[in-house]
Structure 1
Amino acid sequence: MATHSRASRRSLLRAAGLGAGLAAGAPLLAACGDDDEGGETGGNQTITWWHISNTDPMLTIWANLAKEFETANPGVKVEITPLENEAFKAKLLPATQAGNPPDLFHSWGGGVLQQQVDASLVKEIKGDWLKTISNNGSKLYQIGGKQYGVPFDVGMVGFWYNKDLFAKANISAPPTTWAELLEVVKKIKAAGVVPIALAGGEKWPAHFYWSYLAIRQAGVAGMADAAKTGAFDRPDFVTAGEKMKQLIDLDPFQPGHLGAKYSANDGQAAIMGNGQAAMELMGQWAPPTQAAYSSTKKGIGDKLGFFPFPALDGGKGKPDEVFGGGNGFAVGRNAPSKTMDFVKFLLTPESQRKAVEGGGILPVTQGAEDALKDPNLKKVQETAAKATGFQLYLDQAYPPAVGQTVNDSVAALVAKQMSPQQVAEAIAKAAK
Structure 2
Amino acid sequence: MLKRSKKIMSIVITAVMAASVFVGCGNKDNKTADGKIELTWMCYGQPQETKVFDQVIKKFEAKYPNVKVKIVSTTQDQYGQKIQASMASKKLPDVLYMNPGDVKAWVNSGNILNMTPYLKKAEEAKILDLSDIWPKGLAKYKYDGEKIGQGDQYALPKDIGPFGFGYNKDLFIKAGIPLPDKNKPYTWEEWIDVCKKLTKDTNGDGKMDQWGTGLNVNWTLQSFVWSNGADFLDESKTKVTVDDPKFAEALQFFADQTLKYKITPSAQEGQTLDTYQRWIKGQLGFFAVAPWDIAAFKDLPFKYDIIPYPASTATGKSATWLGSVGFAVGANTKHPQEAVNLAIFLSTDKDANKMVSDMQIQVPNLMSMAKNEYVNNANIQPENKQQFLDIIENTGRSMPAEYTYNAEWINKFFEGIQPVLDGKKTAADYCKEVQPKMQELLDKAIEREKKEKKK
TM-score (norm 2): 0.70
Q: Does structure 1 conserve the Cα–Cα contact (< 8 Å) formed by 2:223 and 2:319?
A: no
How many angstroms apart in 1 are the aligned matches of 2:403 and 2:269? 26
How many angstroms apart in 2 are the aligned matches of 1:169 and 1:98? 60
Aligned to 1:213: 224
How many angstroms apart in 1 are the aligned matches of 2:342 and 2:108? 24
Q: Does structure 1 conserve the Cα–Cα contact (< 8 Å) formed by 2:223 and 2:318?
A: no
Task: Among all aligned residue pairs of Structure 1 and Structure 2, give the percentage whose two residues are the same amino acid.
Answer: 18
Aligned to 1:355: 356
Letter of the structure 1 residue corresponding to residue 356 of structure 2: A
Residue of 182, 186, 193 corresponding to 2:192 = 182
> 3-state SS of the aligned residue for 2:389?
helix
Structure 1 or 2, whichever has the larger Rg, is 2
| CA pair 350-412 structure 1, distance change in 2 beyond 3 A | farther
Letter of the structure 2 residue corresponding to residue 306 of structure 1: I
How many angstroms apart in 2 are the aligned matches of 1:59 and 1:45? 22
How many angstroms apart in 1 are the aligned matches of 2:269 and 2:234? 31
> 3-state SS of the aligned residue for 2:113?
coil
Aligned to 1:30: none
How many angstroms apart in 1 are the aligned matches of 2:275 and 2:90? 34
Aligned to 1:26: none
Tell me how far 1:142 sits from its aligned partner.
0.6
Tell me how far 1:62 sits from its aligned partner.
2.2
Aligned to 1:83: 75
Tell me how far 1:224 sits from its aligned partner.
4.3
Letter of the structure 2 residue corresponding to residue 112 of structure 1: D
Q: Does 1:371 align with 2:373?
A: yes
How many angstroms apart in 2 are the aligned matches of 1:269 and 1:350? 32
Tell me how far 1:139 sits from its aligned partner.
0.5
| CA pair 71-115 structure 1, distance change in 2 beyond 3 A | same
Matches within 5 A, 1:18-417: 40=29, 42=31, 43-56=35-48, 58-72=49-63, 73-84=65-76, 86-109=77-100, 111-126=101-116, 127=119, 128=123, 129=128, 130-144=130-144, 145-174=151-180, 176-190=186-200, 191=202, 192-197=209-214, 205-218=216-229, 223-225=233-235, 227-249=237-259, 250=262, 252-253=264-265, 271-288=278-295, 290-291=296-297, 298-300=298-300, 303-313=303-313, 315=314, 317-337=315-335, 338-346=338-346, 347-369=348-370, 370-372=372-374, 373=377, 374=380, 376=383, 378-387=385-394, 390-398=396-404, 399-410=406-417, 413-414=420-421
How many angstroms apart in 1 are the aligned matches of 2:56 and 2:275? 29
Q: Does structure 2 conserve the Cα–Cα contact (< 8 Å) formed by 1:323 and 1:390?
A: yes
| CA pair 194-49 structure 1, distance change in 2 beyond 3 A | farther
| CA pair 276-159 structure 1, distance change in 2 beyond 3 A | same
Q: Does structure 2 conserve the Cα–Cα contact (< 8 Å) formed by 1:47 and 1:336?
A: no
| CA pair 301-99 structure 1, distance change in 2 beyond 3 A | farther
Which stretch has the larger CA shift, 59-68 or 237-246? 59-68
Q: Does structure 1 conserve the Cα–Cα contact (< 8 Å) formed by 2:160 and 2:365?
A: yes
Q: Deviations over 1:106-131 (max 9, x none)?
A: 3331x322111111221122313334
Tell me how far 1:386 sits from its aligned partner.
4.9
Aligned to 2:15: none
| CA pair 242-39 structure 1, distance change in 2 beyond 3 A | farther
Tell me how far 1:180 sits from its aligned partner.
2.3
Aligned to 1:21: none
How many angstroms apart in 2 are the aligned matches of 1:49 and 1:254? 44
Tell me how far 1:169 sits from its aligned partner.
3.8
| CA pair 404-371 structure 1, distance change in 2 beyond 3 A | same
Tell me how far 1:256 sits from its aligned partner.
6.8
How many angstroms apart in 1 are the aligned matches of 2:28 and 2:277? 41
How many angstroms apart in 1 are the aligned matches of 2:258 and 2:236? 25
How many angstroms apart in 1 are the aligned matches of 2:419 and 2:255? 11
> 3-state SS of the aligned residue for 1:81?
strand
| CA pair 238-197 structure 1, distance change in 2 beyond 3 A | closer
How many angstroms apart in 2 are the aligned matches of 1:327 and 1:59? 16
| CA pair 366-270 structure 1, distance change in 2 beyond 3 A | same
How many angstroms apart in 2 are the aligned matches of 1:303 and 1:53? 27
Q: Deviations over 1:41-64 (max 9, x none)?
A: 5544444434343253x3332232
Q: Does structure 2 conserve the Cα–Cα contact (< 8 Å) formed by 1:396 and 1:403?
A: no
How many angstroms apart in 1 are the aligned matches of 2:28 and 2:154? 17
Letter of the structure 2 residue corresponding to residue 284 of structure 1: P
Letter of the structure 2 residue corresponding to residue 429 of structure 1: K
How many angstroms apart in 1 are the aligned matches of 2:242 and 2:250? 11
TM-score (norm 1): 0.74
How many angstroms apart in 1 are the aligned matches of 2:316 and 2:397? 12
Letter of the structure 2 residue corresponding to residue 248 of structure 1: T
How many angstroms apart in 1 are the aligned matches of 2:411 and 2:29? 36
Letter of the structure 1 residue corresponding to residue 50 of structure 2: L
Q: Does structure 1 conserve the Cα–Cα contact (< 8 Å) formed by 2:43 and 2:96?
A: yes
Aligned to 1:201: none
Tell me how far 1:390 sits from its aligned partner.
4.1
> 3-state SS of the aligned residue for 1:325?
strand
| CA pair 41-124 structure 1, distance change in 2 beyond 3 A | farther
Residue of 417, 430, 437 corresponding to 1:429 = 437
Q: Deviations over 1:239-289 (max 9, x none)?
A: 1211111113226147778779xxxxx87655534435433224332212x
Letter of the structure 2 residue corresponding to residue 252 of structure 1: T
Q: Does structure 1 conserve the Cα–Cα contact (< 8 Å) formed by 2:242 and 2:431?
A: no
List runs of 5+ in structure 2 lacking aligned partners: 1-10, 12-24, 145-150, 203-208, 444-455
How many angstroms apart in 2 are the aligned matches of 1:416 and 1:39? 62
Q: Does structure 1 conserve the Cα–Cα contact (< 8 Å) formed by 2:39 and 2:67?
A: no
Tell me how far 1:154 sits from its aligned partner.
2.0
Which of structures 1 and 2 has the larger relative contact order (alpha carbons within 8 angstroms, sep 6+)? 1
